[in-house]
Structure 1
Amino acid sequence: MDIRKLKEELISYCKELGIDKIGFTTAEPFTELKYRLIRQQELGYQSGFEEPDIEKRVTPSLLLAEPRSIISIALAYPAKMNVRVEGKKGERRGIFSRASWGLDYHHILKDKLKKLEEFIITEAPEAKLKSMVDTGELSDRAVAERAGIGWSGKNCAIITPEFGSFVYIGEMITSLPFEPDTPIEDQCGSCTKCLEACPTGALVQGGQINAQHCISFLTQTKGFIPDEFRDKIGNRVYGCDSCQTACPHNKGKNFHFHDEMEPDPEVAKPLLKSILKLSNREFKNKFGYVAGSWRGKKPIQRNAIMALAHFKDDTAVPNLIEILENEASPVSRGTAAWALGKIGGEMALTALKRAQMHETDKEVVNEIEKGLNFYR
């Protein structure tokens, strides 16, 4: 087998598949990354969504027997909607981050990687392969950086010269000895715009993030959002793009290469009050195909409640009272109580005083008190 020819054929086949960039690297351990991950763990900066075994995150040989190389792929996604919708008083809208526009990117990349695997097996039947996207053990970003897809920016995203950081990435460990590509030199320089743009200061320094403070992480949690972050979430119902939109390397970058990534404006920027009323089935029917639905309905509804408070939307007060008085979830009831206080008005005040008399959950009682404090 001519491994160089196979590499050239793979690159050509990627163009047929609609893969926007491909890179190759060795399957050597990611030694430098290991020490960074240990430090992140010590500082309590991890999100908890990662693979917990650091050795698996940095050692390809623990994931595939006798690995020789890793293939990294990137697909560019849109940065702007072709069709825009705007919110207005009484019809305020939330926003999903760009990584949750269109079909869930996990499905898109896994399909591309599966087809790449089939192509390789046809040419090299003895090859051993293992692909992963996002939820796999390896760090997608570390692989992409070493494979020359882009450099690891200060915003902790892979930045490509062609597409900026608006790319989805995935990888495949292989037993084939593909020649590695050359990594791209860091081009962030002295720029700190992403750090300055981060609403919560989650970007501790260039290339280091405290995930516990990151809005993208916070919008995916299931409990109460800590008080200090509530006002900073704004109208985001899932994810955050502030560190990307601030990046000079993303200026003018907006690619519409993949139809399945095109957003439905009513899903990507949904009416907030409509989210509050969705049943599980209705939520799944409307949002189930996007990446932002993976944690279920409750976090999105909680975030929508906070977004209505952000807008001080008094037309939502009856909806929030309904949640406060009848919702089974303590997080929803409590967040609604806080939001009612934030929005204000006599109707909200009366509802909070009434709830204070009957509520038994300690956390919700605490949130009702926070809501009442806005009147003091």
Structure 2
Amino acid sequence: MSPPDSTEVISAGVAAGLDAVGVARAERFGSVRAELVRHRDQGLHGGMAFTYRNPDRSTDPGRVVDGARSLVVGALGYRRPTPVRPDRAVGRVAAYARRDHYGALRQALGQVAAMLVAAGYEAVVVADDNALVDREAARRAGLGWYGKNSNILLPGRGSWFVLGTVVTTAELVPSDPVPDQCGPCRRCLESCPTGAIIAPGVVDARRCLAWLVQAGGDFPLEYREALGNRIYGCDDCQEVCPPNRLLEDAGEDASVGTASGSEEDMAWGSVAGGVSSGSEEEMAWVDLVELLGLDDDRLMDRYGRWYIPRREPRYVRRNALVALGNSGRGDDPEVVATVVRYLADADPMLVRHAVWAARRLGVDAAVPA
């Protein structure tokens, strides 16, 4: 059985809409496994399961496909210009979470997998789950190198990409690796609002805002002000990264393949200014007062594709209350009324965050004695 040529497989991925494609051998990620175990033992995972849950599995492509020989790794750009912030209390959504980029990624990778299956090989798509450390697969496939914030940077194109892999029994010629190009730059370490990047390539999830908005329990008191207006995710370490800034300064986005679509296809929500009302897939800003007025079903219908602890809407409300407290709009009657309503909520966790928000907004008088 003769497998497709690697060049043909890569071309098929690009034709399917991927912005970059590479090939690696399906070998165990031994050094990454050791790193995951070490960081987990040090508590740096902060309770994050994901690839930490079972390092033996997430670093062994053979656990995905028995007899795996190759990895075909794809990158899909997701960066778009952020609309001007509306003049009201809004929460910012990180660029990767504004729409279901992974759905498009899986669809494109699925076309590559179908090509390999048609040639008589087994091929399985994995992306954004516990099955495989996609960043390491991408590095091995020559798509890029690890930045100091632990993201993969594509040469000349930055890090605004989601990554996924086709694990296959076909034996393909691997792509050449990309050398580290960060040099002495430390901008991502220095710009992290909570100091979560504790060493080059090492992120302490216990401080990382992108993880804390997804973690259970109360939002850590010491990081609430640092959360600012973020309601989901954090882009700071990517926004200061020189390759990313060069693209933005040139007026480009990171997505250059056919999957990016046209400007007409880039919906920002059905409310002016990019605030999603739920009828459009993509959102950059979320109206906090509106969100905090939704019932459970409507809230989950609108934001349920985010990682929400135990699928409980209370955690989205928790994040929104912190962002509302940081809005600086203590003179806005709707904002104050929303906070006051949550001061009497049946959920003690939300009451605690409403108390913090009220005091942060300077409306201490509303807090019960």
TM-score for both structures, normalised by structure 1: 0.85
RMSD: 1.9
> Does 1:266 find its partner at 2:260?
no
Q: 2:114 aligns with which of 114, 118, 143?
A: 118
**Counterpart AA for 2:294:** L
> Does 1:320 find its partner at 2:321?
no
Residue pair 2:358, 2:366 contacting (<8 A) in 1 also: no
Within 1, Cα distance between the matches of 2:216 and 2:43? 19
Unaligned runs of 5+ in 2: 248-252, 277-283
Q: CA deviation at 1:2?
A: 4.1
Q: How many residues matched?
A: 341
SS state at 1:109 partner: helix
Task: Decide which moves more: 56-65 or 292-301.
Answer: 292-301
Unaligned runs of 5+ in 1: 354-376
Within 2, Cα distance between the matches of 1:209 and 1:351? 37
Aligned counterparts, 1:61-72, within 5 A: 61-72=62-73
Q: CA deviation at 1:215?
A: 0.2
Within 2, Cα distance between the matches of 1:330 and 1:251? 42
In the other structure, the counterpart of 2:321 is: 305
Within 1, Cα distance between the matches of 2:308 and 2:38? 31
**Counterpart AA for 2:324:** L
> Does 1:160 find its partner at 2:178?
no
CA shift in 2, pair 1:189/1:229, >3 Å: same
Question: Which digits, 9 at most, give the CA deviation of each residue in 1:166-189, with x for residues without a partner?
Answer: 001001111111011111000011
SS state at 1:200 partner: coil
Q: CA deviation at 1:202?
A: 0.6
**Counterpart AA for 1:251:** R
Residue pair 2:112, 2:166 contacting (<8 A) in 1 also: no
Aligned counterparts, 1:26-105, within 5 A: 26-47=25-46, 48-51=48-51, 52-81=53-82, 84-88=83-87, 91-102=88-99, 104-105=100-101
TM-score for both structures, normalised by structure 2: 0.87
CA shift in 2, pair 1:201/1:188, >3 Å: same
Within 2, Cα distance between the matches of 1:227 and 1:292? 21
Aligned counterparts, 1:160-239, within 5 A: 160-239=154-233
Identity percentage of aligned residues: 29
SS state at 1:216 partner: helix
> Does 1:331 find its partner at 2:328?
no
CA shift in 2, pair 1:296/1:148, >3 Å: farther
In the other structure, the counterpart of 2:281 is: none
Within 2, Cα distance between the matches of 1:278 and 1:226? 24
SS state at 2:198 partner: strand
Residue pair 1:45, 1:211 contacting (<8 A) in 2 also: yes
Residue pair 1:14, 1:22 contacting (<8 A) in 2 also: yes
Question: Which digits, 9 at most, give the CA deviation of each residue in 1:289-319, with x for residues without a partner?
Answer: x546685532222112111211232121221
Q: CA deviation at 1:287?
A: 3.2
Task: Decide which moves more: 180-189 or 58-67.
Answer: 58-67
Higher Cα radius of gyration: 1
SS state at 1:303 partner: helix
